[in-house]
Amino acid sequence: MSLLEIKNLQVSVEDDRQILRGVNLTVNPGEVHAIMGPNGSGKSTLAHVLSGKDGYAVTGGEVLLDGADLLAMEPDERAAAGLFLAFQYPMEIPGVATMTFLRTAMNAQRKKRGEAELSTPEFMKRVREEAAKLSIDPEMLRRPVNVGFSGGEKKRNEVLQMALLQPKLAVLDETDSGLDIDALKIAAEGVNRLRSPERGMIVITHYQRLLDHIVPDIVHVFFNGRIVRTGGKELAHELEAKGYADYEQEVAA
Amino acid sequence: MPAVQETVEQVRSIDVDQYKYGFETLIETERAPKGLSEDIVRFISAKKDEPAWMLEWRLDAYRRWLTMEEPTWARVDYPKIPYDELYYYAAPKAFVAPKSLDDVDPEILKTYEKLGIPLREQEILAGVQRPEGASRVAVDAVFDSVSVATTFKEELKKAGVIFMPISEAVREHPELVRKYLGSVVPVTDNFFATLNSAVFSDGSFVYVPPGVRCPMELSTYFRINERNTGQFERTLIIADKGSYVSYLEGCTAPRRDENQLHAAVVELIALDDAEIKYSTVQNWYPGDSEGRGGIYNFVTKRGDCRGARSKISWTQVETGSAITWKYPSCILRGDGSRGEFYSIAISNGRQQVDSGTKMIHLGKNTTSRIISKGIAAGRSDNTYRGLVSAHRKATGARNFTNCDSLLIGSHCGAHTVPYIEAKNASAVFEHEATTSKISEDMLFYCMQRGLSEEEAVALVVNGFVKDVLQHLPMEFAVEAQKLISISLEGSVG
């Protein structure tokens, strides 16, 4: 069975403007898909709709995660079912230590799945291990969630959460934005470590450069609210060379 | 289990109109006749077996009160209080001052158990082992108008600390009571304080002798049980030179459809180098979601840093009451004295809160700090009202104020009314204020990680109030965190 099936998904925002115009996408376990497209093409909207953010109206189509109706679930239920979104702009939560946040999130998901909560030593052990792999200073974990974090720290914190929550499907929304090349490498290495035969990933990006570090199995070109072309990783290089101009002409024509 | 998780489970187990402490204790009570008159004041004084000077003091207050008007400047709205319809004294029937817990009506003890604040001495009497190093709290329990039990009396006595019902102190330590009672909140201070002076029923009295560090936290638990009864407790705490005391106050009331009046007065006096830490968790019945019932909480709390380098710090978590009208203040009289105010005020449903503090800088090089966190949800109104003033002679006065308001939903209101008066050029006053709304994006971020909406709100709010929570004694902080989530229950969606 496919991990994720998106069938003819159509989505509008509240003023009735249509953003997604029939998206079809199938992700199998173990696959890494890249979605590339220009600004305003609807890439981030897709990520938001999959994770259940308010403010969008699904007007048609369906989405199945492991065969279950994803769109019928609340955002927290989707998370517990194994969907993870790495945010383009991670939110700051003043006064809440990152460590507390991580633990609350892990236990909330475990509880929803009917699993026992992690003991304190077990939790600490996991956090320390994963944080070390991402070169995260333990001091950072005592600071409030994302407050005063640099761009690189915020994105590493997203990857840390992903590593701890072990999702079935991870959606990475513009994980490269705002990162210098060193920070990009650390984040990408973190993501690569999480590639596994059971896990699917959707990497949303504007630029090819992230895909030099997280090499996708399949590349989709997203334009004007739908996938207009699908190919192998070489498609990303073609886009880098030629830009999206061809697709603009297609739409105009 | 992380506190947040635990909190949310508590929230789940209750529904909106189910006030946790809304049970009534069925014990026989003896009440004074309805209404207020000189005879009632005499009745109360006689019940307490008071000396003549105390009765005169009360009568003087009563006569003064007759000439006063109820204040209207606060941002609260309520129907006129029928003072003639209230009962001003209620006591468990056939009340004889208890010698030990054995003499206390078991029904009352059960009530305190239900409140989750067991009188610790029960455990000791029952031979319960307490873990090594567990903190101990001496409790004075006030039930309607009468103090029913004070624990750890003997141990405190050894340290020289006096901790007893104020009605007893009037008889046993008249010299101290006469010297200090009304010296911080004068009989004529304000409508509600004057009313309290006339009819105050009981409350706690604490005296810490020079150089003594009180060996345990002192605590009072107030509970209003009787229908249509006002509770007018009076607390007087004196920290003599170089002493230290930490005092905790908790309040609950059973739920009732009618409003109940609560008008307390608390006076703190810190002499040279003394320190008083006063913490409150107030959880009186807030009324139902339509605003029926609930406690009217009109309280005057004031501390006098009378001695040089003395320090008074107020910490409050206010989650209950239909109306809260409360401004715990510090008079910074001694040179180099310091006042602090840490507050979390939460309003939900139809609650109205008008609360804040006054820091009156009179002495040289006095400092004060105000951290106020107001959280408004439902259809409530939440006002911070504060005054920071420096007298002509208060050279080098410094204040830092931070007032943050958090709105949940779009039918509530948060207001900040700071008054700042500096009458000398060397005073440095800083004021910061923010108002924010719990953002959808923040909640969504938490929910994407697996938290339900309620869990997400609890997490964000706990983060918002953290600066204040850390000033509460440990045992209270845990209770306060639970209360915060319980009172915000049903505020989202």
ipTM of the complex: 0.96
Of A230-234, B103-107, B144-148, minimum mean pLDDT range:
B144-148
Residues in chain A closer than 8 A to B451 (CB atoms)? 76, 104-105, 108
Say whether B2 and A93 touch across the interface (CB within 8 A): no
Name the residue with higher pLDDT: B30 or B275: B275
Report how far residue A111's alpha carbon sits from residue A109's, in angstroms, rounded to the nearest whole number.
Answer: 5
Its domain, for residue B251, covers: 3-488
Q: How confident is the model at residue B150 (pLDDT cuts 50, 70, 90)?
A: low
**Pseudo-torsion of CA A95, A98, A99, A103, nearest 10°?**
100
Residues in chain A closer than 8 A to B459 (CB atoms)? 93, 96, 100-101, 104
Q: How many CB pairs below 8 A link A and B?
A: 91
Say whether B447 and A165 touch across the interface (CB within 8 A): no
Domains and CATH numbers, chain A: 4-252 (3.40.50.300)
Say whether B463 and A51 touch across the interface (CB within 8 A): no
Residue of B nearest to A102 (CA): B449
- A112 to chain B, any CB pair closer than 8 A? The answer is yes
Which tokens in the block code for residue B236?
A: 């007087």
Considering chain B, what percentage of its residues have pLDDT values greater than 90? Answer: 39
Query: In this model, does residue A49 exceed pLDDT 70?
Result: yes
Residues in chain A closer than 8 A to B5 (CB atoms)? 104, 107-108, 117
- A87 to chain B, any CB pair closer than 8 A? The answer is yes
Is B129 a member of any domain? yes
Query: In this model, does residue A43 exceed pLDDT 50?
Result: yes
Is B301 a member of any domain? yes
Of the candidates A54, A144, A165, the beta carbon closest to that of B440 is on A54
Is B493 a member of any domain? no
What's the mean pLDDT when you consider all of chain B?
Answer: 80
Of A203-217, A233-247, B106-120, B165-179, minimum mean pLDDT range:
B106-120
What's the confidence (pLDDT) of residue A253?
Answer: 52
Q: How confident is the model at residue B98 (pLDDT cuts 50, 70, 90)?
A: very low
Q: How confident is the model at residue B166 (pLDDT cuts 50, 70, 90)?
A: confident
Q: How confident is the model at residue B4 (pLDDT cuts 50, 70, 90)?
A: very low
Query: In this model, does residue A102 exceed pLDDT 60?
Result: yes
What's the confidence (pLDDT) of residue A79?
Answer: 96
What's the mean pLDDT when you consider all of chain A?
Answer: 91
Is B127 a member of any domain? yes
Say whether B2 and A104 touch across the interface (CB within 8 A): yes
Q: What total number of domains does chain B contain?
A: 1
Say whether B459 and A104 touch across the interface (CB within 8 A): yes
What's the confidence (pLDDT) of residue B256?
Answer: 52
Say whether A95 and B441 touch across the interface (CB within 8 A): no
Residue of B nearest to A118 (CA): B1
Of the candidates A75, A101, A117, the beta carbon closest to that of B447 is on A75
Say whether B448 and A79 touch across the interface (CB within 8 A): yes
Of A32-41, B146-155, B351-360, minimum mean pLDDT range:
B146-155
What's the confidence (pLDDT) of residue B6?
Answer: 46
Residue of A91, A127, A160 to mutate, interface with B, max B Cβ within 10 Å? A91
Q: How confident is the model at residue B122 (pLDDT cuts 50, 70, 90)?
A: very low
Residue of B9, B445, B461 to mutate, interface with A, max A Cβ within 10 Å? B445
Name the residue with higher pLDDT: B89 or A163: A163
Residues in chain B closer than 8 A to A104 (CB atoms)? 2, 4-5, 451, 455, 459
Say whether B463 and A109 touch across the interface (CB within 8 A): no
Name the residue with higher pLDDT: A193 or B290: A193
Query: Using an 8 Å Cβ cutoff, are A105 and A98 in contact?
Result: no
Could you tell me which residues of chain B have a Cβ less than 8 Å from any Cβ in chain A?
Answer: 1-2, 4-5, 439-442, 444-453, 455, 459-460, 462-467
- A169 to chain B, any CB pair closer than 8 A? The answer is no
What's the confidence (pLDDT) of residue B105?
Answer: 58
Query: In this model, does residue B1 exceed pLDDT 50?
Result: no
- Chain B nearest CA to A93, separation (Å): 7
Residues in chain A closer than 8 A to B469 (CB atoms)? none
The set of residues, in sequence order, having a beta carbon less than 8 Å from that of B351 and lying 6+ positions away, is: B286, B287, B294, B321, B322, B323, B324, B378, B380, B381
Query: Using an 8 Å Cβ cutoff, are A136 and A156 in contact?
Result: yes
Query: In this model, does residue B121 exceed pLDDT 50?
Result: no
Q: How confident is the model at residue A154 (pLDDT cuts 50, 70, 90)?
A: very high
Say whether A94 and B452 touch across the interface (CB within 8 A): no
Residues in chain B closer than 8 A to A76 (CB atoms)? 447-448, 450-453, 455
Residues in chain B closer than 8 A to A108 (CB atoms)? 5, 449-452, 455
Report how far residue B420's alpha carbon sits from residue A110's, in angstroms, rounded to the nearest whole number.
Answer: 51
- Chain A nearest CA to B455, separation (Å): 9
- Buried b / exposed e across B334-372, counting CB within 10 Å, b at 16+? bbbbbbbbbbbbbbbbbbbbbbbbbbbbbbbbbbbbbbb
Query: Using an 8 Å Cβ cutoff, are B243 and B187 in contact?
Result: no
What's the confidence (pLDDT) of residue B138?
Answer: 61
Report how far residue B300's alpha carbon sits from residue B188's, in angstroms, rounded to the nearest whole number.
Answer: 12
User: B484: alpha, beta or left, given left = phi > 0 and alpha = psi -120 to 50?
Assistant: alpha
- Beta strands B146-150; B398-407: pairing state: unpaired
Q: How confident is the model at residue B102 (pLDDT cuts 50, 70, 90)?
A: low
Of B58-72, B365-379, B479-493, minimum mean pLDDT range:
B479-493
Report how far residue B254's alpha carbon sits from residue B233's, in angstroms, rounded to the nearest whole number.
Answer: 17
- A74 to chain B, any CB pair closer than 8 A? The answer is yes
What's the confidence (pLDDT) of residue B7?
Answer: 43
- Chain B nearest CA to A114, separation (Å): 13
Query: In this model, does residue B101 exceed pLDDT 60?
Result: no
Residues in chain B closer than 8 A to A95 (CB atoms)? 462-467
Report how far residue B64's alpha carbon sits from residue A121's, in angstroms, rounded to the nearest whole number.
Answer: 64
Report how far residue B280's alpha carbon sits from residue B272's, in angstroms, rounded to the nearest whole number.
Answer: 24
Q: How confident is the model at residue B12 (pLDDT cuts 50, 70, 90)?
A: very low
Q: How confident is the model at residue A3 (pLDDT cuts 50, 70, 90)?
A: very high
What's the confidence (pLDDT) of residue B480?
Answer: 76
- A52 to chain B, any CB pair closer than 8 A? The answer is yes
Q: How confident is the model at residue B118 (pLDDT cuts 50, 70, 90)?
A: very low
Give the 3-state secondary structure of residue B412: coil
Report how far residue B333's alpha carbon sits from residue B270's, in angstroms, rounded to the nearest whole number.
Answer: 10
Query: In this model, does residue B246 exceed pLDDT 60?
Result: yes
Is B157 a member of any domain? yes
What's the confidence (pLDDT) of residue B103?
Answer: 55
Report how far residue A184's alpha carbon sits from residue B133's, in angstroms, rounded to the nearest whole number.
Answer: 50
- Buried b / exposed e across B112-133, counting CB within 10 Å, b at 16+? beebebebbbbeeeeeeeeeee
Residues in chain A closer than 8 A to B467 (CB atoms)? 95
- Chain B nearest CA to A105, separation (Å): 6
Is B454 a member of any domain? yes
Say whether B450 and A165 touch across the interface (CB within 8 A): yes
